[in-house]
Structure formats: C-alpha cells, structure tokens
Amino acid sequence: MLPLVLPGAVVALAALRYGIGAIAYKEENKLEHPIENFKIIDHLNGGVEVRRYPPHTVAVSTIKEPYSMELGRALGIREVTQYIQGKNIIKPFWGNPTGKNLTMHFTTPIETTVHDFDKRHGTTPSKVSVALIMGSDYRKAHYPTPIGNVKIQHVPARYLAVQHFHGQIASRKVVQRRRNAIMNSIRQSPYSHKFVPQKETVLLGYHDPILVPGVIRKNEIGVVLEQDQTELIRILTTTPHSI
C-alpha cells in the first residue's frame, strides 16, 4: 500500500505547489509597474531589445564586496523589503521626524544591479545593489527616511540591452551566460559602434522566486549602455533597418 500512497502524495504536493504559485503569479501581476512605459529603440538577434527606461526613484541597498552575488542579492532584498514594510521614519515637511513609520505597497520589478565581476576571482562582483522602485502614490518629499543601509536615489533615464527569460535569476552562472549572449547580440548589430556596454548588469525580477514556479516566472536581464545615445537614436529613427 505504501508504494501506492507515496506517488499520490507527491502529485498532491506538486498540485498544491503550482496552485499556490499560480495565485502568487496573478497577484504579483496586479502590482504597480512604475517603469513599464519604456521605449523600445531596436531589436537585436537573440530576442534582445534595446530599451530607453524613464527616470525613476528607488529605495536601494548596496552590498559591497559580498561573499557571492547570490548572498549580496539576498541581503539587499531583505533590507529594501524591511524599508517598504516599515523600517523607516516619517519626516514631515517641517520640524523633527515624528518617530512614526510608514508601510508602503510593493512594486515590480525588483532591480538588482551587479557591478563588474572581480577580475581576480571571476566569481564575486565588487558590489551588488538591490532596488525597489517607489510607487506613484509617493512623492519625493513624502518618502520616509530609511533606517540602516537603505538609501533613496534618483535613477536618470537610461538605456539597457534586455533579454527576457524564465526560471532562476539569482545564479552567477546564469548572469554571466546571459550577459555574454547579450554582448554577442550587440556585436552582431550593424550599429555596434554606437552601443557602448558598461560593466553593470541589471536583473529585473517580476515574481516571487520561491512561490512562483520557474516555468511561468518572468525575469529579464539587461546590460547597461552608455548614457549618451543621442546619435544612436537619430540613426535608428531616421534609417530603415532590419536585424
């Protein structure tokens, strides 16, 4: 009897797992996407898009010289989550802080910026920054003051070469492999001399990495491009092309 019970239990647990994941997937898709109005500048080989993202404000935690990229990302997510959940102090328009805190709503995606991998070891980045984008309900003057390692920063408009994928996002090998693929797509572009990749790699996570199954979990990885892209935009918007 026991051999028959175990497969049934496994199937039941798998069904429960995917059921919970599907609910989490739907709920997280309802969250605000403050940077969803990006502009696609070009399409490259390998499903890579060159995008212009609008300026936005983030609550960011930066972990310097983490033991690993994965650990740095986990620590950063914990700190910005604590800030959103109330580890902060409300600052009024005038006078001293009130001593009260504010719980804010989550947005998506979570931005993880992996700064250049250590050339000596090839495994650890110099720093990892994790950012939660501030929602439209809050103006800069109304952001509560962070407690601890979190800072409020303005991110100017920027350009990224982005590739979409499903599955796990927090693996160093995944990041390196997909960054290399994006770099190859840039090199194959006839405008490669206008795309100037930087050392930063941005991971965009749209769903809970634990609750939502990898097969439906939306992730994106982007290589930061040089900020000054005026000439690139002029060429791409005035010259017919196909890649």
What are the pLDDT digits (tens) for 28-43?
556 677 888 899 999 9
Exposure string (b/e) for 67-102, b if CB count within 10 Å is 16 or more? eebbebbbbbbebbbbbbeebbbeeeeeeeeeeebb
Residue 145 buriedness (CB in 10 A; 0-12 / 13-18 / 19+): middle
Which pLDDT belongs to residue 152?
93
- Residue at token pair 């290589």: 223
What local confidence, expressed as pLDDT, does residue 165 receive? Answer: 87
Q: pTM for this one?
A: 0.81
Q: What percent of the chain has pLDDT over 70?
A: 69
- pLDDT by residue (tens digit) across 91-129? 765 455 566 788 888 899 999 999 876 554 556 778 999
Per-residue model confidence (pLDDT) at position 112: 94
| Tens-place pLDDT, residues 152-192 | 999 999 999 999 988 776 678 888 889 999 999 999 988 77
In this prediction, residue 243 has a pLDDT band, given cuts at 50, 70 and 90, of very low
Tell me the domain boundaries of the chain: 2-238
For residues 242 and 16, give the distance between their C-alpha atoms in angstroms, rounded to a whole number.
46
Best CATH choice for the domain 2-238 from the list 3.20.80.10, 3.60.20.10, 3.40.50.300, 1.10.390.10 = 3.20.80.10
The residues with which 152 forms a beta bridge, in sequence order, are: 59
